[in-house]
Amino acid sequence: MPAKVLIIDDEPGVLASIKDVLDDEGHDTFGASSAVEGQELFSRERPDVVFLDIWLPDRDGLEVLRSLLEEDTAATVVMISGHGTVSTAVKAIKLGAFDYLEKPISYAQLVDSLESALEHRRKSRRSRRTNGVAERPEVESQLKPPPELPLCKRGRKHQRTLRRSTVIYGLGLHSGTRTGMVMQPLPPGSGLHFLTLPSEKVIAAHVSEVADTDYATTLSREGEQIKTVEHLLSALHAYGITNLLIKVHGEIPVLDGSAVEFCKVIEEAGVEGQRTPRTELVVDRVYEVGEGEKRLTLEPYDGFRISYQLNYPAPIGEQFFDFELDGPETYKRDIAPARTFGFMRDLKMMNELGLGSGGRLDNFILVGEDNVINTELRFPDEFVRHKILDIIGDLYMIGFPIRGKVTARYTGHRDNIAILRHIRDLAVDG
120 catalytic? Reply is no
Using CA atoms, how far residue 194 sits from 285, 409, 421, in Å, is 31, 30, 20
The one-letter amino acid code at 138 reads: E
Residue in 231, 237, 413, 422 annotated catalytic: 413
* Dist CA 228 CA 215 (whole Å): 9
End-to-end Cα distance, the chain: 55
Given phi > 0 = left and psi -120 to 50 = alpha, else beta, which region is 412? beta
Q: What is the largest CA-CA distance in the chain?
A: 70
Length of the chain: 430
Antiparallel, parallel or unpaired: β 49-53 and 4-8: parallel
- CB within 8 Å of 146: residues ≥ 6 apart: 191, 204, 206, 398, 399, 400
Neighbours of 425 (CB within 10 A): 9
- CB within 8 Å of 270: residues ≥ 6 apart: 162, 163, 164
Say if residue 188 is preceded by a cis peptide, omega within 30 of 0: no
* Dist CA 101 CA 80 (whole Å): 5
* Dist CA 116 CA 99 (whole Å): 9
Any idea which residues carry the catalytic annotation? 413
